[in-house]
Structure 1
Amino acid sequence: MSRKEYSTDNLKHTRGRSVVHQRHTLLKVTYLKDSTSAWITDAAEVIGINLQDPFRTTVSINDKMKVPFRIGVHEAVGGDHDFPNPGDLLCASLASCFESTIRLISNKLGIELLETKIRANAQVDVRGSLMIDKSVPVEFQSMHIDALIIAKNSNEKLLKTLINGAKLSCIVYQTIKKGIPITLNTDIKIK
């Protein structure tokens, strides 16, 4: 499915009620006038504290808010896995971006979401990272998303448009899939 096929531009009946459409319209005008204003930078920063502890640190997320988030090292590479590890954060980024994208698109499509549950997981063979087997790449080999969406006042075609739109518009999904395969299993229900 192409971007044009999932476009919400032809859904005039939902435009007036969609707060997302209203905000996107304003942003579109701004970005068309000045394309450089569409460039953003997301950030996270780790400032090493307690450097004698090889298994735990803190990452500050977002330059403005500096939200501190404790992270640990996975037990598969020698850590205690007593806090989320970087792989967990990668999965969290994928799941949260995909779910947020579903929310935005469903608002534009006039779909009333009753429930969403997005679970992302990633598979990696850590022998490469530990230099046990140099033929094993040091990277996640695959990722997977399980998506449950329960919606009201919708139909299968519209919900398929929603999922395809999310796949095409989710920045984290599109970034990761360039490097590793992402499979997607959807469970869509209409009430």
Structure 2
Amino acid sequence: MQADELRAMQAPLKEQYQQDPATALVTLRSTGTLGEGLTCGVQTGQALVEAGLHPATGGDGLSACSGNMLLEALAACWGVTLRAVATALEISVRGGRIEVEGDLDFRGTLGVDKETPVGFRAIRLKLELDTDASEEQQALLLKLSKRYCVVYQTLVNSPPLEVIANSAAD
């Protein structure tokens, strides 16, 4: 895609959101369905993903790990955002690789040590770009990708999260 094509595609949306800001607020949804054993099925845009326990918590490794899925979402969002930013700025990026790593101490999630936090202790996003862009252009790509990547910004600036539980009998 070329920069002018991206601008043409996004221009009516930007105008609409400026004229009527309420239309820019979209609620995304994901639904999980409890599966057999210790699994939960999640419908993605392309397929049903069966998530289960990570082997470090007793899983058999045959089901997707939700922690990995979080890292995959970050890698995917970062890649799409970087591509869009590069296109808008007319910076040629022939290809590249995004590697996301996250450190977990499973003593927390298994309740082995009540002082050990549950969740990722650290997440690292590593980039390798195939580009002739200058260091200044690459720095700008990084800066704007950080700014506009939805998953990155959500992790950095965690929004309020609430759990609403209803039973089937309600």
TM-score by length of structure 2 reads 0.85
Name the counterpart of 2:122: 142
- The alignment of Structure 1 onto Structure 2 pairs a total of residues equal to 157
Q: CA deviation at 1:116?
A: 1.6
Give structure 1 regions of 4+ aligned residues with deviation exceeding 6 angstroms: none
Is the partner of 1:131 in helix, strand or coil?
coil
Distance 1:171 1:49 in 2: 29
Alignment of 1:167 with 2:146, yes or no, is: yes
Alignment of 1:19 with 2:2, yes or no, is: no
Q: CA deviation at 1:81?
A: 1.6
Name the counterpart of 2:69: 89
1:3-152 matches, within 5 Å, as 17-50=3-36, 53-54=37-38, 56-61=39-44, 65=45, 67-152=47-132
Q: CA deviation at 1:17?
A: 4.2
Distance 1:108 1:114 in 2: 15
Name the counterpart of 2:165: none
Q: CA deviation at 1:84?
A: 2.0
Unmatched segments (≥5 aa) in structure 1:
1-15, 180-191
Contact map agreement 2:3 2:89 (CA 8 A) in 1: no
TM-score by length of structure 1 reads 0.76
Name the counterpart of 2:163: none
Q: How big is the alpha-carbon RMSD for the aligned residues of Structure 1 and Structure 2?
A: 1.7
Could you give the per-residue CA deviations for residues 20-46 of structure 1, whole angstroms, max 9, x where no partner exists?
222232211010111111112222211
Contact map agreement 1:18 1:110 (CA 8 A) in 2: no
Unmatched segments (≥5 aa) in structure 2:
159-170
